[in-house]
């Protein structure tokens, strides 16, 4: 798919935060799922020694969840790990992988947060603004915000709030398993984001998109 040239990447914390502040106003915090929804893409990155990394994108048929496209990119981490600036670490490689895709996915599912971020501009928002595509963030552990424990059944959820505003949702994707943390990335509202998260978790806690991308990035890093 076509990916616009992001230009140069920041090298300091101050520069990176300035980039987030500059792009944040471009985030569209609402929207319905595209109809018909044809394809969904999952993105993930695996790390190896010496800052080596492998980014992977897997595109699935939204109905059958069968893989229809994939792309990978190996490289080095472009930024140190700083909570809140996580996106700068993986974005270059993820964009590179996306550029190699034959198709343009209808929605991008990111590993991490969107609006549930100290400056309301997590990886999912960043990726959404740069690609122009609808995105959502699904994280495995809490980062910002407070919440009550949701019910234990699949579909149960509780609002994730921070600074007096709802920034996401703690969602139980399977009965009796730890919940995931869903937040809006770009062009999709929270209801749509959670509906998609449930649709992609027919068997496991994490979305099929994320699981496929995770395994692919791992395999690539291992040289498979």
Partner DNA sequence: GCGACAG
Partner DNA sequence: ATCTTGTCGC
Please give the residue ranges that form the binding site for DNA (CB under 7 A): 44-48, 81, 83-87, 111-113, 117, 122-124, 137, 139-143, 218, 221
Q: Report d(CA 11, CA 100) in Å as an integer.
A: 25
> Do 80 and 66 meet the contact criterion of CB atoms below 8 Å apart?
no
Listing DSSP states for the chain in one string gives -------PPP-SHHHHHHHHHHHGGG-----PPPSS--EEEEEEEEE-GGGEEEEEEEEEETTT--EEEEEEEEEE-SS---TT-THHHHHHHHHHHHHT-SS--SEEEEES-SSSSTTS--HHHHHHHHH-S-EEEEESS--S-B-PPPPSSTT-EEEEEETTEEEEEEE--STTS--EEEEEEES--HHHHHHHHHHT-SSSSS-HHHHHHHHHHHHHHTT-
Report, in Å, the least distance between residue 141 CB and DNA. Answer: 4
| Comparison of 106 and 111: residue with beta carbon closer to DNA | 111
Query: Any known ligand binding at 21?
Result: no
Report, in Å, the least distance between residue 112 CB and DNA. Answer: 3
Q: How wide is the angle at C-alpha 162 spanned by C-alphas 158 and 167, nearest 5°?
A: 60
| Comparison of 85 and 130: residue with beta carbon closer to DNA | 85
Query: Any known ligand binding at 44?
Result: yes
| Comparison of 32 and 81: residue with beta carbon closer to DNA | 81
| Comparison of 38 and 119: residue with beta carbon closer to DNA | 119
- Give me the sign of the Cα torsion angle 46, 17, 190, 153: positive
Report, in Å, the least distance between residue 171 CB and DNA. Answer: 13
Report, in Å, the least distance between residue 38 CB and DNA. Answer: 26
Q: Report d(CA 115, CA 121) in Å as an integer.
A: 5
Report, in Å, the least distance between residue 172 CB and DNA. Answer: 16
| Comparison of 39 and 135: residue with beta carbon closer to DNA | 135
Report, in Å, the least distance between residue 115 CB and DNA. Answer: 10
| Comparison of 70 and 117: residue with beta carbon closer to DNA | 117
Binding residues for Mg(2+): 44, 111
């Amino acid at each position: 798919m076509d990916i616009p040239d992001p230009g140069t990447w920041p090298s300091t914390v101050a520069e990176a935060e300035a980039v987030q502040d500059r792009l944040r106003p471009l985030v569209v915090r609402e929207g319905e799922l595209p109809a018909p929804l044809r394809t969904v893409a999952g993105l993930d990155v695996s790390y190896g020694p010496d800052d080596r990394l492998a980014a992977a994108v897997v595109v699935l048929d939204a109905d059958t969840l069968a893989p229809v496209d994939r792309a990978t990119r190996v490289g080095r981490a472009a930024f140190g790990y700083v909570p809140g600036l996580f996106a700068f670490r993986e974005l270059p490689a993820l964009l590179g992988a996306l550029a190699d895709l034959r198709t343009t996915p209808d929605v991008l599912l990111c590993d991490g947060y969107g609006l549930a971020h100290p400056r309301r501009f997590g990886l999912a928002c960043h990726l959404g603004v740069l690609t122009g595509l609808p995105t959502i963030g699904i994280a495995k552990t809490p980062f910002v915000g407070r919440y009550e424990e949701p019910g234990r059944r699949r579909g149960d959820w509780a609002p994730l709030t921070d600074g007096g505003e709802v920034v996401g949702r703690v969602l139980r994707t399977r009965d009796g398993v730890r919940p995931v943390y869903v937040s809006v990335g770009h062009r999709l509202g929270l209801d749509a984001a959670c509906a998609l998260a449930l649709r992609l978790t027919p068997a496991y806690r994490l979305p099929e998109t994320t699981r496929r991308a995770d395994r692919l990035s791992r395999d690539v890093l291992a040289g498979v």
